[in-house]
Amino acid sequence: MMVTVMRTRIVNCQIFDPATGGDAFPGWVEFENGVITAVGKGQAPAPSAGAEITDIDGQGFTLAPSFVDMYANFCEPGYEYRETVASGSRAAASGGYTAVCLRPDTDPIIQRSDVVRFLLERGVFANMVDIFPIGALSMNMEGQTMAEIGEMAAAGARLVGEGNTFVKRTGFLRRCMEYAGNFGLVVMLTNEDPSLAEGPCHEGFMSTSRGLKCTPVQAEEIAVARHIALAELTGTPTHLVKISSAAGVRLIRDARARGINITASVSIHNLALNEDANAGYDAMTKVWPPLRAEEDRLALLAALEDGTIDIVVSDHDPHVIEGKEVEFDLATVGASSIELTFGVLNTLVERGELKFATVIRALATAPRKIMHLDGGVISAGMPADLVLLDRKAVRKVCGAELVSQGVNTPFDGTDLAGCPVMTFRRGRMTFAA
């Protein structure tokens, strides 16, 4: 008796496999039961006898490994009016993501194993992306008493950190890092000394001339220096979240040259925008870290290209529109961005500011390496976590039409070059444009 084999192929596409280190090549990819079974160049062969194959025509599109976001806020539990795991997962899938790490500053805070399990269950129920809760370092994120780090690790947490909260007590942070290291967890640290931070704008001519509250780059520089020193002291894998300045880049580059076990990320907003975006008092541009000077933005782009900065995060932080329709100083901080991240980055590629290979490394390969996840390459035996990209499509952003519940984006009205057209998580299509 002949057994029918159900398989899916993406054909007639340009395949970009980071493992090859070269340009995209015309070809096809076949997968079955969530795993890539074959990759070929040129035209796909005719199906073998007994095989039932569904072909998806990828003509004009580029196939790449799907994306992993190491820093996003889906607001659940506690703030479901802003976003839920379900709505955030749909937005992520539309942005080409198959895995998302969630900030701990929910209500209740992700500080116990039961909250970790709850979010993992919500992710399974949504069935769009893999959810990775980031456990808090301290109870109530107050920097006084250690959270249930070991129990959260046992429940499935891979990362710990305090979200956008700075841990003031250096000795306490050291103990947390040492303890987390015993469980193989990556410690994610925010980089802004609050004693120097007065507001969410870069300290420079633009902010002072307009009377905006601001924060100097030294607030980041001091924090980064401390965290590098602690990473060296403890040996714990340490991730520096959302670097925004040339000063921070210089410190990280030096530390990595000395072999210190650190990685770093940059927010999409700091890569694409500078302080001039705040000049019109548009609260949609109020994000953290502050949008810095153009020289800082250029330093971040260079650092991403040379690998000093490993990954790009969406820093997805949806808010209700009422939080943005107030004067700048009173407005909420954050932007809805997870479904726009690739388009923003590919626009920078089209402008000649980034290489496409760098984008894929920063969104797909490096996050998986940091988190010890399978995938990030297109080869037989790897998970069929894939995204089909239209690199030439031009999309005008309309905040009101975002998949996310949040409509707050600084890119509203902007033309972006490129967008995902299909996303596959373990072979299952989770998004189609």
Strand partners, 266: 312
Query: Hey, what are 96's tokens?
Result: 């080409």
Residue 413 to residue 145: CA distance in whole angstroms: 45
Return the sign of the alpha-carbon dihedral for residues 303, 309, 312, 315.
Answer: negative
**Is residue 287 classed as helix, strand or coil in its secondary structure?**
coil
Contact between 221 and 248 under an 8 Å Cβ cutoff? The reply is yes
Residue 360 to residue 313: CA distance in whole angstroms: 12
Strands (E), 136-283: 159-161, 186-189, 201-202, 214-215, 238-240, 262-267
* Alpha-carbon distances, residue 90 vs 168, 229, 404 (angstroms): 36, 39, 7
Contact between 43 and 76 under an 8 Å Cβ cutoff? The reply is no
Phi-psi map region of 416: left, alpha, beta (phi>0 left; psi -120 to 50 alpha): beta
**Is residue 70 classed as helix, strand or coil in its secondary structure?**
strand
- What is the 8-class DSSP label of residue 227? H
Residue 203 to residue 211: CA distance in whole angstroms: 11
Residue 379 to residue 383: CA distance in whole angstroms: 9
Q: Which of 69, 105, 296, 315 is catalytic?
A: 315
Is 315 considered catalytic here? yes
* Alpha-carbon distances, residue 255 vs 33, 250, 310 (angstroms): 43, 9, 14
Half-sphere CA count of 192, side-chain side, radius 13 A: 24
Could you please report the per-residue DSSP string of 240-256?
E-----HHHHHHHHHHH
Phi-psi map region of 426: left, alpha, beta (phi>0 left; psi -120 to 50 alpha): left
Residue 349 to residue 342: CA distance in whole angstroms: 10
* Alpha-carbon distances, residue 42 vs 23, 257, 386 (angstroms): 14, 42, 19
Q: Mind telling me the catalytic residues?
A: 315
